Structure formats: C-alpha cells, structure tokens
C-alpha cells in the first residue's frame, strides 16, 4: 500500500510570503493529485501531474518521480489561501487513479 507523508502538518505565514508544502510517497505512481479544502469543508482539485511542473496562477506543483516527492508552492501568499492542502496518489504500485490514498493534509494559515 502506498504511504503518503505530507510536511509540514501546520504552517503559518505572513501575507506575501512564498509557501512550500511537501509530499512524499512510498510506491511508484502514474500521477499525483493536489487538492485544497477550505475552512467550510469544500474540496477542490488543484492539480493532477505525472511529471515535471504545472502552474495555475500563483500555485505551482512539481514532481520528481525518481525521488517519489512532490511540492506545492504558493507565491505571494494571501489570507484567502488559508486552507488544508492535501496530496493524493494511487494506492498501489501501478494502481489506477480510481483508488487514491490521501495524505493527512497541511493546514496553512496566512495572516494579513
């Protein structure tokens, strides 16, 4: 079973700071997902990536397949970025994206 570790568990930043959240997994995968869960509970998919880097606005996700590691970066952070960020990968080696294993999440708080 794929094990997913996220770090840090909690992160507090000042508005404008550059944020990095890390995700490591134990078994080779076809793709990795980053999701955002707002304080109200809603969950939104941010990225699905299998190699290299993807960018959407101020969010950048990178993945290193050989090192089994992904990072989510937020540039020029804003209080509205405050949320839980969750990493997810297929549950087994060669497993499909239907059965995802989720990290426990990183709680990000951005203060004005």
Dihedral of CA atoms 88, 89, 95, 100 in degrees, nearest 10, equals -10
**Cβ of residue 57: shortest distance to another protein, in angstroms?**
16
Residue ranges in 5-34 that form contacts with another protein under rule CB under 8 A: 33
CB of 100 to another protein, least distance (A): 7
Instruction: Show contacts with another protein in window 59-78 (CB under 8 A).
Output: none
Q: Does 41 bind another protein (CB under 8 A)?
A: yes
Contact predicate 90/32, CB 8 Å: no
Residues 6+ apart with CB under 8 A from 66: none
| Shortest CB 71 distance to another protein, Å | 19
């Amino acid at each position: 079973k794929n094990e997913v570790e996220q770090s840090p568990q909690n992160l507090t930043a000042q508005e404008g700071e550059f944020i990095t959240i890390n995700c490591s997994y134990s078994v080779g995968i076809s793709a990795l997902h980053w999701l955002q869960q707002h304080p109200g509970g809603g969950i939104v998919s941010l990225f699905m990536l299998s190699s290299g880097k993807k960018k959407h606005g101020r969010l950048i996700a990178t993945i290193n397949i050989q090192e089994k590691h992904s990072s989510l970066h937020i540039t020029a952070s804003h209080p509205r970025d405050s949320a839980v960020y969750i990493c997810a990968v297929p549950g087994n080696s060669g497993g499909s994206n239907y059965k995802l294993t989720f990290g426990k999440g990183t709680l990000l708080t951005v203060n004005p």
